[in-house]
């Protein structure tokens, strides 16, 4: 993986879904609503001082949200944080750095 650059998009894994689930409440608080459907479909990673995960999440109907989740270095022992997100995305929208 290139430091600072994003990886290619990959299908979501169980770990990706777990990360999305972990920041779901942070997103719901920011959006002021709850999501009945919250399925990670693909992701990209970016190596920084830790790892940024860009995760495309299906939230029902034809609506998707792109999450930027930061995972700190293991020795920092910090929880995952929802750094930012983009809502009103469609299935075909490319997962890009934001």
Cβ atoms within 10 A of the Cβ of 22, count? 15
Going by pLDDT thresholds of 50, 70 and 90, the confidence category of residue 52 is very high
Yes or no: domain 10-89 corresponds to CATH 1.10.3470: no
27 CB contacts (<8 Å, ≥6 apart)? 35, 65, 67, 82, 85
pLDDT tens digits, 55-67? 999 999 999 999 9
On the question of pLDDT at 1 being above 50, the answer is no
pTM, whole model, 2 decimals?
A: 0.89
* Closest CA relative to residue 24, chosen from 10, 12, 37, 9: 37
Q: What is the pLDDT of residue 4?
A: 59
pLDDT tens digits, 10-46? 999 999 999 999 999 999 999 999 999 999 999 999 9
Q: What is the pLDDT of residue 6?
A: 80
The pair phi, psi for residue 31, each rounded to 5°, is: -85, -20
* Closest CA relative to residue 24, chosen from 58, 73, 61, 72: 58
Whether 71 and 81 have beta carbons less than 8 Å apart is answered as: no
């Amino acid at each position: 993986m290139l430091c600072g650059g994003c990886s290619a998009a990959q299908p979501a894994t169980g770990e990706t879904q777990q990360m999305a689930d972990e920041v779901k409440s942070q997103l719901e608080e920011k959006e002021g609503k709850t999501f009945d459907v919250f399925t990670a479909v693909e992701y990209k990673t970016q190596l920084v001082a830790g790892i940024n995960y860009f995760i495309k999440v299906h939230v029902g109907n034809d609506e998707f949200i792109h999450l930027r989740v930061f995972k700190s270095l293991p020795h920092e022992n910090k929880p995952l944080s929802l750094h930012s997100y983009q809502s009103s995305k469609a299935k075909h929208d490319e997962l890009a750095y934001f």
